[in-house]
Amino acid sequence: MTTLGEYRKVLKIFVISSTLSVICCDWLLVAYWNSVIGQFRMELIVFGSLYSAHDNLYSSSTSYNTPKIIVESDQLMELLSVCPMCAGHSSVELSSRHGAYLKFSSTCTTCQHFRLWENSPMKNKTPLINLFMSAGILFSRCLPTKTLRFLQMISVKSPSPATYFHYQKKFLHGVIREVYSSDMKALLKTLSTQELRVSGDGRFDTPGHSATFGVYTMMDSDTSKIISTELVKSTEVSSSPAMELEGLKRCRSSLSQKNVTIVELTTDRHAHITKWMREHWSEVQHTYDLWHISKSE
């Protein structure tokens, strides 16, 4: 007789159904002799996320890079309707749902074995599947409304837009800031021992001279890595065109405080920047980028 332990294998799969979005972690492949039907059977049952009143087998270990597959809800119901204790039929009910998170309860009609099954681990009462889906949308720069509409059109359960923006504000933006600050600190520490040739340019929320916000960015020309970014609002300066120069000044001040040495700066042919560089930062070689020069010819 084949024992249960000999065939135990954790698969850790992320399941998204066309009608039910589920994350299924820590499955158990079971091979055994079924005396009821008189044949050798192999079944896939939930191990890590399955627990009963007698056997608490729940495991909260999971990872964002756990492999994911798509499964039909009918196939999932077929799996959950088999009792893992006696292989009898179990009645399955959806106990709760929040976004892509699902909890099922099942009771065996033969041996009365009761179990609860969750499609996703929880972390501080937050379903990880909702968090992972929200993170995937944001970090891949997909438009949330279109992505969630696409999932809705093919009947895949997913977080609502409200849930997505809640997670974005509560968790994801903080993660981005933390990673950005950590990486930027390490990068500037490395570059502080070098003489840098950088490029700078500004971007604005609207074209023309009526912009409200502008972002000035400096990039190391040798490594193509961003070394400084500053946000400027038009009310902080005399006019919208003055935001680009103000952004440059702030980038210079920020890099100077971090002991970064700049020997050459490449910009567009902004008249205010040209004048300011000549009068206040003359020790740095100021050059124009070829794209702007060729465009103006």
Q: Are 245 and 201 in contact (CB under 8 A)?
A: no
Give the pTM. Answer: 0.65
pLDDT at 25: 32
Which residue shows structure tokens 């976004």? 99
Q: Are 35 and 88 in contact (CB under 8 A)?
A: no
Q: How far apart are CA 295 and CA 79, in angstroms?
A: 64
Q: What is the DSSP letter of 21?
A: B
CB atoms within 10 A of CB 271: 9
Instruction: From residue 159, give the alpha-carbon distance in Å to each of 19, 68, 126.
Output: 14, 17, 12
How many alpha carbons lie under 13 Å from residue 23 in its C-beta half-sphere? 25
CB atoms within 10 A of CB 289: 16
Structure tokens at 258: 């971090």
pLDDT at 297: 54
Q: Are 284 and 267 in contact (CB under 8 A)?
A: no
Start-end ranges of CATH 3.30.420 in the chain? 192-296
Give the CATH class of 192-296.
Answer: alpha beta
pLDDT at 67: 72
Per-residue pLDDT of the chain (297 residues; tens, 9 = 90+): 333 333 222 222 222 222 333 333 333 333 333 333 333 333 333 333 333 333 332 334 445 677 777 778 888 899 899 999 999 999 999 999 898 898 999 999 999 999 999 888 888 888 888 999 999 999 999 999 999 999 999 998 899 999 999 999 999 999 999 998 999 999 999 998 999 999 999 999 988 778 899 999 999 999 999 999 999 999 999 988 899 999 999 999 999 999 999 999 999 988 999 999 999 999 999 999 888 777 765
